[in-house]
Amino acid sequence: MKILFCGDVIGKAGRQAVCEHVPRLKKAEKIDFVVVNGENAAHGFGITAKICNEFYEAGVDALTTGNHVWDQREIIAYINSDPRLLRPHNFPKGTPGRGAAVFTLADGRKILVLHVMTRLFMDALDDPFACVEKVISGYTLGATIDAVIVDVHGEATSEKTAMGCFLDGRVSMVIGTHSHVPTADARLLPGGTAYQTDLGMCGDYDSVIGMKKAPAMARFLTKMPGERLTPAEGEATMCGVVVETDDKTGLAVKISPLRIGGCLQATPA
């Protein structure tokens, strides 16, 4: 199985990059399943129902989010009606939406997508390690489930790396999101789980992590709130990974970083 996972989408430029490249990649690379982190897709803050549908029409199968999931208030009433849109699973009990879902491919193979948020330098949510343990204990990789994808949305590289080690050999891939900067550590862990600390963003890198430079710099230079941050509007780089899994075991056999367009050095696609 081949799975494409795209990093945090920032604003219109990021959306356009994803919607342009995903259909081509699905066909050219014979991608079976596409996950996109869309938590900054709506002008840099949150996601809307309309944007969700734009991604689905482009061939995206599942959407994850993160700490900005509720920035667009309309999503609170919408999220329960959309089984493909996930919020971090370790929100307190009673929070709208879901953070884990099983998707069935046309050929019958089943994929579990599990989304959690870390706690270091982030909101004080429930324990993400206990959360993932509880969910995956209900499945056997390679037997009752064909692939398990874990989006770990977090600030601290140490916490995301620890999650990769914790799940190694029990899930297909542990992929970090949130920092908007792609890390250079994409690899197969000893137990066969594909791992990268952060995918980076799908957005304009001639920016401050996707936002226009002047207002962002002013906040650091003056320590005043100033102008509202807005997404940079230049050509975006689509950042992500393609992970290939063994259909017999569900474990990964290859992870390939992906960077297309914009000002970052491209990778083969």
**pLDDT for 67-102, tens place per residue?**
999 999 999 999 999 999 999 999 999 999 999 999
Extended beta strands in the chain, E state: 2-6, 8-9, 33-37, 62-64, 100-104, 110-117, 147-153, 173-177, 187-188, 194-196, 201-202, 238-245, 252-260
d(CA 212, CA 268): 28
pLDDT tens digits, one per residue of 164-207: 999 999 999 999 999 999 999 999 999 999 999 999 999 999 99
Q: What percent of the chain has pLDDT over 70?
A: 100
Which residue, 3, 10, 197, is CA-closest to 118? 197
Active-site residue 68, yes or no? Answer: yes
Beta bridge partners of 202: 9
Domains, the chain, ordered by start: 2-260 (3.60.21.10)
Contact status, residue 107 vs residue 140, Cβ threshold 8 Å = no
Say which of 21, 43, 68, 115 is annotated catalytic: 68
| Weakly modelled stretches of the chain, pLDDT under 50 | none
Extended beta strands in 118-236, E state: 147-153, 173-177, 187-188, 194-196, 201-202
Confidence at residue 50, expressed as pLDDT on a 0 to 100 scale: 98
Side chain identity, residue 98: R
d(CA 155, CA 137): 26
Spatial neighbors of 24 by CB under 8 A, at least 6 apart, are none
According to DSSP, the β-strands at 238-245 and 2-6 are antiparallel
Confidence at residue 269, expressed as pLDDT on a 0 to 100 scale: 60
User: What's the whole-model pTM score?
Assistant: 0.96
Side chain identity, residue 60: V
Residue 210: count other Cβ atoms within 10 Å of its Cβ. Answer: 26
Confidence at residue 224, expressed as pLDDT on a 0 to 100 scale: 85
